[in-house]
Amino acid sequence: MRFKYLQLAISAVAALAVSACTVPTEEGAVHDPYESLNRVSHTFNKGADRVLIRPLSQAYGATVPNPVRRSLSNVAAHLDEPKSMANHVLQGDAESAAHSFFRFLINSTVGVAGLFDPAAGGLGLDRRQTGFGDTLAAWGGREGAYLELPFAGPSTERDFVGLIVDVATNPISHISSDVAILNTASTIPAALNVRYEFSDTVDSVLHDSADSYAQLRLSYIQSRKFRLNQQDPDDVGHDHFEDLYDEIYEELYDEF
């Protein structure tokens, strides 16, 4: 038990040190000094999607009935819950931590080891997923440079550190090696299900845009900002609201 906290503390310090190295970005612009490298990995990811992930997700969606897919995705979400709870604690958000705790408790029992999600369905305890990337943000760590990782896809320096810490310290993986394997294995059908359910959206960004790299980067950065700001109840989740919308009209009506 002691060891786990020590491990977590070390990871946290390391993570802060790394994310402190990042260069501040211009408001609204994406900081992407590794663009050429990122584009190589984007080409790889796009190829992997075309030949492997997309066909697999289509086959999965076509052969496995929706309730079964949903249950498998529920298991993955359920095993992810302790990690969310731990990070809510680290972010100092006691209410969300309790929320995650009750979700885990209810879904472990009434939800038959996470196969079902009665916490969200009957009790309105919707999933509040979070991870160490969010914790770093809450602690004031900067976003850092944009990264596109092979297989893992779009990220930032901060989120990459978060991902490593999440994988290394996931509380559920410390229960037993079987649970750790189940946790890793459960992410595969869950990911395929997301790829299947949002097939049109993903296809449109990845395969139908003129510059899919730039489009994916933009979507990721905006969606991360949205989710992080959403956790602040005083904010509705959009940054830089004014700039772009002002610009539009300044160009059209010079008198302003």
Partner 1 sequence: MKSSTTNSDPTRRTLLFAGFCGAVALRVSPARALSDDEARFLIDAVVDDIHRVINSGMPIQAALKEFEKVFVNYADVQAIARSALGPPARTASPRQLRAFTDAFSGYISRKYGKRFREFKGGVIEVTDARKRSRVHEVRAIARLKGREPLAMSFVVSDRSGKTLFIDILIEGISLLKSERVEIGALLDRQGGDVDRLVAALNGSG
User: Residue numbers of the site for partner 1 (CB under 8 A)?
Assistant: 66, 70, 197, 200-201, 204, 209-211, 214-215, 218-219, 222-223, 225-227, 229-230, 234, 236-238, 241-242, 244-249, 251-253, 256
Listed as own residue / partner, the contacts of 151-159 with beta carbons closer than 8 Å and 24 or more positions apart are 151/45, 151/48, 153/45, 153/216, 153/220, 154/216, 154/217, 154/219, 154/220, 155/220, 156/221, 156/224, 157/18, 157/19, 157/21, 157/22, 158/19, 158/22, 158/133, 159/133, 159/224
Which residue number, 15 or 216, has a Cβ lying nearer to partner 1? 216
Closest distance to partner 1 from the beta carbon of 189 (Å): 16
**What is the smallest separation between the CB atom of 226 and partner 1, expressed in angstroms?**
2
CB of 237 to partner 1, least distance (A): 6
* Smaller CB separation from partner 1, 5 or 198: 198
CB of 211 to partner 1, least distance (A): 4
CB of 15 to partner 1, least distance (A): 24
Give 187 or 229: the residue with its C-beta nearer to partner 1: 229
Q: Helix (H, G, I), strand (E, B), or coil: what is residue 149? A: strand
**Helix%, strand%, coil% for the chain, nearest 5:** 70, 5, 30
Residue 11 or 215: the one with the smaller Cβ distance to partner 1 is 215
Using CA atoms, how far apart are residues 216 and 154, in angstroms rounded to an integer? 7
Q: How many residues comprise the chain? A: 256
- Rounded (10°) CA dihedral 25, 211, 51, 197: 80
Comparison of 59 and 248: residue with beta carbon closer to partner 1: 248
Residue 231 beta carbon to partner 1: minimum distance, rounded to whole angstroms: 12
- DSSP characters over 65-79: -HHHHHHHHHHHHHH
Q: How far apart are CA 160 and CA 143, in angstroms?
A: 10
In whole angstroms, how close is the CB of 38 to partner 1 at the nearest point? 15
Question: Radius of gyration of the chain from Cα atoms?
Answer: 20
Using the minimum distance from each CB to partner 1, give the nearer residue, 178 or 255.
255
- Nearer of residues 35 and 197 to partner 1, judged by Cβ: 197
